[in-house]
Amino acid sequence: MNTSWETVIGLEVHVQLITKSKLFSGAATAFGAEPNSQACAIDLGLPGVLPVLNETALKMAIKFGLSIGASIAPKSVFARKNYFYPDLPKGYQISQYEFPIVSGGSLSFTLEDNTTKQIRITRAHLEEDAGKSLHEDFHGFSGIDLNRAGIPLLEIVSEPELRSAKEAVAYLKTLHALIRYLEISDGNMQEGSFRCDANVSVRPSHQTKLGTRAEIKNVNSFRFVERAINYEIERQIDILENGGTVIQETRLYDANKDETRSLRAKEQANDYRYFPDPDLLPIIVSADLIKEIRKTLPELPREKSERFERDYGLSAYDANVLTATKELADFFEQTVQASYQSEPKLCANWVMVDLLGALNKTNLDITESPISPERLGGLIRRIHDKTISGKIAKTIFEKLLCEKEDVDTIIEKQGLKQVTDTTAIEALIDEVIAKNPHQVADYKSGKDKLFGFFVGQVMKASQGKANPEQVNEILKHKLGP
Ligand code: ADP
Ligand code: MG
């Protein structure tokens, strides 16, 4: 059999909102506290307490909805999702079911081949996080830490419109950047602030009906999402090509073995006995509140990227790369400022090629860059005003990576100033011409290519410091036509 298969992926992303207190209680939300030191009576599900909605979390959900062009429900409802688990003391999770706060909207992203894809968002709803079971520090039993219980989550559900692991990762990166731009989450994946469940199915390419999906739970890095999905695609195709059927189930990705494993048969919505939470009033959102929140929307990645093209004359590709994260975009703009706005395109090149290249090698993030925008901008200023050549700039850049000194001090101390004094350059050129009579003769008899040789010799004699434009000009003059 020679069927070609199409992959179908829908993602559910849980984003922890950065509120100071929990979704329904006043307990603190900071990461890494002593177990159970940030869990109050409400988070513990003790009798006689009532949840109170955190308004900041609600506003963050609305802000997200507005940023993706979704509709904000004038009335939405919290529902109880009932199940037992040791990290869920109430026996139910407060979530939203039939009436989520955010519906519709879409997310666009650019793929490696520069094509753009738009994925529709089904919904985004507010819910509380569960606690954590700790297995490692205990022998023969598990500990329960309820610090995370009740931390606000925004669950963002996509339509099953993604068609490959690469698309899924591009979608996730775009979503991750967006929530950071909106400042509604720190997006820290190691700490679980941005977690993804990937629903994956395959179907014969000509078929319109969706195949049976498996849901891979809680994958917490972009790299693992890609691997987990690719493993799952192959597993399912393998089953189908061998005449089997895929069963709907929840699976776990094991990064060490690079495989997914069955966790449990997929539960159906009615297993959870959802019903509206009688302890909480419906959320009513007024048009005025939406208006107010709309005003707080920052410049979004796409808008920023378009502005970079317009104002700095960057290509769409460069603008896209530089706005991939807010931190990188800010770094670039600060560099442009520090270079006195002289050469935005040159700044873009230095940030994207030299700086990101160096950071990549040392596994550092842009926020950990040993070169500040001020120092990089300073370097570009000196290229622009011709104090140094581009070549010398590369040498100085290497020094900036490991030394604290600023550009002007390095130039001064090491005598790297570009030679722009015409008499000095002429002297060097005369010397080179005198030393190479054969080449001069060859050049004059028509070997034009030798011009580069002379430029090279003069630059070498000046230890790279002669201004290349002047060298070219004077050489042309001295060597004659
Ligand atoms: P739940 O997983 O809670 O039962 P849904 O049925 O709403 O919820 O689906 C959740 C996610 O699964 C959505 O992102 C949706 O796009 C995706 N999905 C649904 N059916 C499929 C399928 N056959 N293949 C891949 N993804 C799917
Ligand atoms: Mg699900």
- What is the rounded average pLDDT of the residues 188-210? 96
The per-residue pLDDT for 312 is 96
The per-residue pLDDT for 2 is 64
Dihedral angle sign, alpha carbons of residues 32, 179, 189, 361: negative
User: Looking at the predicted structure, is the pLDDT value of residue 378 above 90?
Assistant: yes
Q: Rounded to 10 degrees, what is the CA torsion of 207, 209, 215, 218?
A: 80
**pLDDT single digits (tens) 251-283:** 999 989 999 999 888 777 778 999 999 999 999
To which residue do tokens 């699976």 refer? Answer: 251
132 CA to centre of ligand 1 in angstroms: 25
Among 303, 383, 397, 304, residue whose Cα is nearest residue 345:
383
Atom of ligand 1 nearest to the CA of 11: 14
The per-residue pLDDT for 334 is 97
Atom of ligand 1 nearest to the CA of 266: 4
The per-residue pLDDT for 273 is 93
Tokens of 438: 């054969």
User: Looking at the predicted structure, is the pLDDT value of residue 1 above 60?
Assistant: no
The Cα 251–Cα 133 span in angstroms is 19
Among 50, 41, 39, 130, residue whose Cα is nearest residue 84:
130
Ligand 1 mutation pick, 12, 93, 106, max ligand atoms within 8 A of CB? 12
Percent of the chain with pLDDT over 70: 99
Q: What secondary structure letter does DSSP report for 109?
A: E
Ligand number nearest CA of 195 is 2
211 CA to centre of ligand 1 in angstroms: 11
Q: Ligand 1, atom 7: nearest CA belongs to which residue? A: 157
- Mean pLDDT in the chain? 93
Neighbouring-strand partners of residue 283:
76
**Residue 438 burial (C-beta neighbours within 10 Å; 0-12, 13-18, 19+):** exposed
User: Looking at the predicted structure, is the pLDDT value of residue 88 above 80?
Assistant: yes
306 CA to centre of ligand 2 in angstroms: 35
473 CA to centre of ligand 1 in angstroms: 67
The Cα 470–Cα 346 span in angstroms is 21
Dihedral angle sign, alpha carbons of residues 230, 233, 235, 238: negative
Looking at per-residue pLDDT, the higher value among 471 and 283 belongs to: 283
Does the CB atom of residue 442 touch ligand 1 within 6 A?
no
Tokens of 226: 């890609």
The mean-pLDDT minimum among 69-78, 105-114, 281-290, 346-355 falls in 105-114
The per-residue pLDDT for 294 is 98
CA-to-CA separations, 263 to 113, 135, 217, 249, 323, in angstroms, rounded: 36, 17, 9, 7, 38
The per-residue pLDDT for 342 is 79
**pLDDT single digits (tens) 299-344:** 999 999 999 999 999 998 899 999 999 999 999 999 999 998 878 9
Q: Rounded to 10 degrees, what is the CA torsion of 161, 166, 171, 177?
A: 180
The Cα 435–Cα 439 span in angstroms is 9
User: Looking at the predicted structure, is the pLDDT value of residue 417 above 80?
Assistant: no
Contact between residue 413 and residue 370 where contact means Cβ atoms under 8 Å apart: no
The Cα 159–Cα 353 span in angstroms is 36
Which pTM was predicted?
0.84
Fold classification of 422-479 is Arc Repressor Mutant, subunit A (1.10.10)
User: Looking at the predicted structure, is the pLDDT value of residue 470 above 70?
Assistant: yes
| Domain segments of the chain as ranges | 5-293, 299-414, 422-479
Among 413, 347, 354, residue whose Cα is nearest residue 383:
347
65 CA to centre of ligand 2 in angstroms: 20
To which residue do tokens 């967006």 refer? Answer: 178
Contact between residue 385 and residue 379 where contact means Cβ atoms under 8 Å apart: no
Residues lying with their CB under 5 A of ligand 2, a single-atom ion? 12
The Cα 347–Cα 308 span in angstroms is 12
**For residue 466, what pLDDT band results from cuts at 50, 70 and 90?**
confident
Does the CB atom of residue 162 touch ligand 1 within 6 A?
no
Q: CA 79: distance to chain centroid?
A: 32
The per-residue pLDDT for 89 is 94
The Cα 183–Cα 19 span in angstroms is 10
